[in-house]
Chains A and B, each alone.
Chain A
Amino acid sequence: MTPTGLEVSPFFTLVWWVTAIGIVVAAWSVVFLRDVLKAALALIGSFLGVAGMFVMLNAEFLAAIQVLLYAGAISILIIFAVLLTRDVFRGNPSNRFERLAFFLAGALMFFLTFVIIATPWGQLKDAQLSPEAQAGVAQVFSNTTPIIGQLLVQEYVLPFEVASVLLLAAILGAIVLVREE
């Protein structure tokens, strides 16, 4: 099932590997860079990489949100926080569970990889689709933004509404928590 057929091209493969390695290196930098500010910048890089991945998965709308919200808004917030707390000078030290945490993350990575490889995804992926269905799939993935918009206000209107209430709660909370007495 390759609706766009791009996956098979060596160019796509190359771009994917570059982006993937970029994401991992950036994420690695977030946790290992000595300078918190640089770590924050690495985080932005990682976010941008993920946005690239979204593009490669035919999710342009998500890529846009990713860039605007994550690489834009949240990163700015984080950088503000880093600067406001003036803890930049203390570097980015690890705690005494560092090694344990590392082994744990490694074990998790191992299990995840095992699960991903051991699960016969092919059995799920390669189910026979009629030509009409295949065409329908290709059409959906050719232009996702309007469909997502439709989904959000129709089928997923309930979580959409709830999310708005959630944001209200978060705003209220943030105000309460930082308000000076």
Chain B
Amino acid sequence: MSEAAAWLVLFLPLASFLIISLVIRPFFNRYSQWAGYLTILAIGGALVLSLMALKATTGHEGPIGWDPHSWITVGSFNLRLGIYMNSLTAIMLVVVSGVSLMVQVYSQGYMKGDPGYARYFAFMSLFTASMLGLVLASNVVMLYAFWELVGLCSYLLIGFWYHRPAAAAAAKKAFIVTRLGDFGFLLAILYLFFHQGAIAGQGLNSLEIPDIYRAVQTGLLGTAVLTWLGLGIFAGAVGKSAQFPLHVWLPDAMEGPTPVSALIHAATMVAAGVFLVARFFPIFEAAPATLRLVAVIGGATAVFAATMGMVMNDIKRVVAYSTISQLGYMMLGLGVAGLAVAREGHVTAEVARAAVAIGIFHLFNHAFFKALLFLGSGSVNHATGTVDMRLMGGLRKVMPWTYITFVIAGLSLAGVWPLAGFWSKDEILAVALKEQPVLFALALLTVFMTAFYIFRVVFLTFCGEYRGGAPGEHGHDAHAHGKPHESPPVMVVPMVILSVLAVISGFWNVNGAFSVFMGEGQTKGFFEGFFGILAHPLPWIAMIVAGLGIFLAYLMYGSKRISAERMGERFKPIYTLFYRKYYFDELYENLFVRRSLVNGLFAGFQKFDTNVVDGAVNGLANVTVATGKGVRRWQTGQLQLYGLFMGIGIVVIVLVLLFAG
């Protein structure tokens, strides 16, 4: 793996973006399918190179040291561009380019005939390039630059169907809310630079990531400084990863095309926040207070988002809340693992990496099954023209591939042995139990709700009878649907590939290989790990809880339609039983679920979300705008009032300088 090859990972999608937007769109828009092919080619190349990087970092001790290139040097101001290639980088590269490739292939089918086809692929290329750049950056400023670019692309892609007012509003909301977090991140960078003096003596540059690690290890920065830094960085992560209380943008972001949701709002960009915490983990590790915050915010978000996922009728929104919840899970994993490590006392880079491994492993697995869930819901949406699950049902028969892959992803999400989600979830649960029982309880509760809501989706969407699909026109193109049908192969194949990954990606750490790859841990035999884990009680507890969730979903949404009506006609005596059961379900749903949970607790959460959290964010904006309008009132067009302001300004300044200073 040469340095040039590593740079190529970034430049291939970037070149694709440039060619599409400067050559294909202006001059060859009739051949816009080239844009798709070019994107797939470029990202495919990036994936191959990423896999090479993965291979190169395997067994490599520490990062592969390439000297950064000087970008700007003026006096004490020194910025360098470079690649920081370690196992974390390599993993992220593979996740980003791999999921991106699948999504681009899928988009060939999904976006077919859309008038903005070339624009779509241009933005997707730019997004992938920025995301890869974010991962590769060896310099905080470079990282931040790509961090912002990623946000910009997200903005452009959420609002891709700009003729929908909701899409444009959602794009703006996402942009503004995430920038609130970015602001903390930027402050952290500036604060870091503020302390350049403290570490310059050691020949370190406060903006270079390896130098930051060294400065933290050698104790050049005090705990207070590191705490503030950690808080700033975590603020950025909270915004991008849609953690409480900045999570409000992500559900709305579902207004974008579904492949965009799959790539950006499930697998990559939202995971960038988790990546950011992982990237700066030594800082967090050295300031345990921040780790506690990470863990608590993560745990709270996981439960909070899951409760809302249980009551949504929009399939994409369920998956979106699920994403928020799972990202919270990753944060929880990072936080508690970090705390567990910090407890040991001496913090070294190796130990920190072990903690990172736990959070990142879930990120890695989640990327595949969550992207798959989105692609599946996109496929459903493509077939029925709606995202409302109440208008779906019975799609199992007409869309077998979508059904099977969706169920696999759902099981993986629910954490059923031996699928991918099981392995990473188990690690997080284990370390949470060891570290903080309350957080463990939250995590376990999340497991239950996760299983429940995802299978509620499965039962509502794929089981029962078809309930008609979209009453109006299709969401993104106008071709009419008589009946729902399976999506074309170009969409199904990526889903199948992802479903395979959703099964096997977790096997990597069955024998501890992932942890070793990340720098810490010991391997054991594969089969020993594969079956041995079942000898412990914890996995069983988790799976039973998940099973209960699935069962409850079945009782409420699966059985009531299939069994109750058909069986009831044929077997009168048993009908009563089922009827009663049905009645019980109704009762349950009416009294318990709808009255207490939906109208009570969950609706409360939702109200809290829309009124308080959302309201606070909007309120802040409104206050600012109102202030602007107030101040603007001085601008009356009366030039002498303007002159008066000048005069008053002078008098006030003189007053302060002469009599107060």
What band does the interface of chain B fall in when counting residues whose beta carbon is under 8 Å from A?
A: 10 to 19
B640 touches A104 (CB 8 A): no
| Residues of chain B with a CB closer than 8 A to A105's CB | 647
Q: Are B651 and A100 in contact (CB under 8 A)?
A: no
Asked if B587 is at the interface (CB within 8 A of a chain A CB), the reply is: no
The secondary-structure label for the interface of chain A is helix
Question: Would you call B658 an interface residue if the criterion is a C-beta within 8 Å of the partner chain's C-beta atoms?
Answer: yes
Picked from A97, A108, A115, the residue with its CB within 8 Å of the CB of B651 is A108
Q: Give chain B nearest CB distance to A78 CB in angstroms.
A: 19
B647 contact set on A, CB distance < 8 A:
101, 104-105, 108
Closest CB in chain A relative to B645 CB, distance in Å:
10
On whether the beta carbons of A101 and B640 are closer than 8 Å, the reply is yes
**B643: nearest residue on chain A (CB-CB)?**
A101
Quote the shortest CB–CB distance from A117 to chain B (angstroms): 12
Minimum CB distance partner of B646 in chain A: A104
What's the nearest-Cβ distance from chain A to residue B550, in Å? 74
B651 and A104: CB pair below 8 A? Answer: yes
In the complex, the chain B residue whose C-beta lies closest to that of A115 is B658
Q: How far is the CA of A95 from the CA of B650 in the complex (A)?
A: 21
Bound form: Cα–Cα A137–B424 in Å = 93
Which chain A residues (105-128) contact chain B, with CB distance < 8 Å?
A: 105, 107-108, 111, 114-115
Bound-state CA distance A108–B640 (Å) is 16
Chain A residues within 8 Å of B641, by CB? 97
Q: Which of A19-33 contact B (CB under 8 A)?
A: none
Residue numbers in A under 8 Å from B658 (CB-CB): 111, 114-115
B638 within 8 A of A: yes
B644 touches A100 (CB 8 A): yes
Q: What chain B residues lie within 8 Å of A111 (beta carbons)?
A: 651, 654-655, 658
Chain A residues closer than 8 Å to B648, beta-carbon distance: 104
B644 touches A95 (CB 8 A): no
In angstroms, Cα B647 to Cα A115, docked, is: 17
- For residue A107, which residues in chain B have a CB less than 8 angstroms away from its CB? 651
Instruction: Select one of A101, A114, A115 contacting B644, CB under 8 A.
Output: A101
* Distance of A107 Cα from B651 Cα, bound (Å): 7
Chain A min CB distance to B533 (Å): 80
Determine whether the beta carbon of B644 is less than 8 Å from that of A97. Answer: yes
Q: How large, as a class, is the contact surface on chain A?
A: 10 to 19
Output the least CB separation between A23 and chain B (Å): 22
Whole-angstrom distance between the alpha carbons of A105 and B647 in the complex?
8
Bound-state Cα–Cα, A105 to B640, Å: 13
**Which residues of the other chain, B, contact A114 by a CB distance below 8 angstroms?**
658
- CA distance in complex: A95, B648 (Å): 17
Shortest distance from the beta carbon of A103 to any chain B beta carbon, whole Å: 9
CB distance from B171 to the nearest CB of A (A): 45
Within 8 A of B (CB), among A61-86: none
Residue of B638, B651, B654, B655 touching A95 (CB-CB under 8 A):
B638
Separation of A111 and B658 alpha carbons in the complex (Å): 9
Interface SS majority for chain B: helix
Task: Tell me, in angstroms, the Cα distance from A95 to B115 when the chains sit together.
Answer: 59
Q: Which residues of A contact B654 (CB under 8 A)?
A: 111
Distance in angstroms between the alpha carbons of A114 and B651 in the assembled complex: 13
Query: Which residues of chain A from 26 to 73 have any CB-CB distance to chain B below 8 Å in the complex?
Result: none
Chain B 626-658 residues near chain A, CB threshold 8 A: 638, 640-641, 644, 647-648, 650-651, 654-655, 658
CA distance A138 to B647 in the complex (A): 40
What residues of chain B lie closer than 8 Å to A108, measured between beta carbons? 647, 650-651
Residues in A neighbouring B640, C-beta threshold 8 A = 95, 97, 101
For the complex, what is the distance from the CA of A138 to the CA of B544, rounded to whole Å? 108
User: A104–B641 Cα gap in the complex (Å)?
Assistant: 12
CA distance A15 to B616 in the complex (A): 71
State A41–B261 Cα separation when bound (angstroms): 77
Cα(A115)–Cα(B650), bound, Å: 14
Cα of A104 to Cα of B640 in the assembled complex, Å: 12
**A104 CB contacts on chain B under 8 angstroms:** 644, 647-648, 651
Q: How far is the CB of A70 from chain B (nearest CB, A)?
A: 23
A20 to B474, CA, bound (A): 86
The chain B residue sitting closest to A100, CB to CB, is: B644
Q: Which residues from chain B contact A101 at a C-beta distance below 8 Å?
A: 640, 644, 647
Task: State the CA gap A95–B655 with chains docked (Å).
Answer: 27
Chain B nearest Cβ from A165, distance in angstroms: 28
Alpha-carbon separation in the docked complex, A97 to B641 (Å): 7
What is the bound-complex CA distance between A141 and B148, given in angstroms?
A: 68
> Considering only CB atoms, which chain A residue lies closest to B648 in the complex?
A104
**Which residues does chain A contribute within 8 Å of B650, judged by CB atoms?**
108
CB distance from A30 to the nearest CB of B (A): 16
A24 to B647, CA, bound (A): 21
Chain A residue at minimal CB-CB distance from B651: A107
> Which residue of B is nearest A110, CB measured?
B651
Inter-chain CA distance A26–B444, complex, in Å, is: 89
Minimum CB–CB distance from B636 to chain A (whole Å) comes to 10
Per-residue interface assignment for chain A, residues 87 to 105, with 1 indicating a CB less than 8 Å from any chain B CB and 0 otherwise: 0000000010100110011
Whole-angstrom CA separation of A104 from B650 in the bound complex: 10
Contacts of A100 in B (CB 8 A): 644
Which B residues are in CB contact (< 8 Å) with A97? 638, 640-641, 644
Please indicate the chain B residues that have their CB under 8 angstroms from the CB of A115 in the complex. 658
A101 and B648 alpha carbons, distance in the complex (Å):
9
- The distance in angstroms between the C-alpha atoms of A73 and B448, with both chains bound, is 93
When chains A and B are docked, how far (Å) is the Cα of A107 from the Cα of B647? 10
CA of A97 to CA of B642, assembled, Å:
11
Bound together, the chains give a CA A105 to CA B650 distance in angstroms of 11
A141→B638 CA distance, assembly (Å): 46
**Would you give the shortest CB distance from A137 to chain B, in whole angstroms?**
32
Q: Which residue of B lies closest to A111 (CB)?
A: B654
Instruction: Name the residue on A nearest B647 (C-beta).
Output: A104
Using CB atoms, name the residue of chain B closest to A96: B638
Question: Bound complex: CA of A104 vs CA of B655, how far in Å?
Answer: 13
**Shortest Cβ distance from A99 into chain B, in angstroms?**
11
Taken together as a complex, chains A and B put the C-alpha atoms of A110 and B651 apart, in Å, by: 10
Using Cβ atoms and an 8 Å threshold, which residues of chain A touch B651?
A: 104, 107-108, 111
For the complex, what is the distance from the CA of A100 to the CA of B641, rounded to whole Å? 10
Distance (whole angstroms) from the CB of B635 to the closest CB of chain A: 15
Cβ of A95: which chain B residues have Cβ within 8 Å of it? 638, 640
A-B contact pairs, 25 of them (CB 8 A): A95-B638, A95-B640, A97-B638, A97-B640, A97-B641, A97-B644, A100-B644, A101-B640, A101-B644, A101-B647, A104-B644, A104-B647, A104-B648, A104-B651, A105-B647, A107-B651, A108-B647, A108-B650, A108-B651, A111-B651, A111-B654, A111-B655, A111-B658, A114-B658, A115-B658
If A95-B640, A97-B638, A101-B647 are given as contacts, then 12 extra A-B residue pairs at C-beta distance below 8 Å, sorted by A number, are A95-B638, A97-B641, A97-B644, A101-B640, A101-B644, A104-B651, A107-B651, A111-B651, A111-B654, A111-B655, A114-B658, A115-B658
Residues in A lying within 8 Å of B, measured CB to CB? 95, 97, 100-101, 104-105, 107-108, 111, 114-115
9 cross-chain pairs, A with B, having the tightest CB-CB distances, nearest first: A104-B647, A107-B651, A111-B654, A97-B644, A97-B640, A95-B640, A100-B644, A97-B641, A101-B644
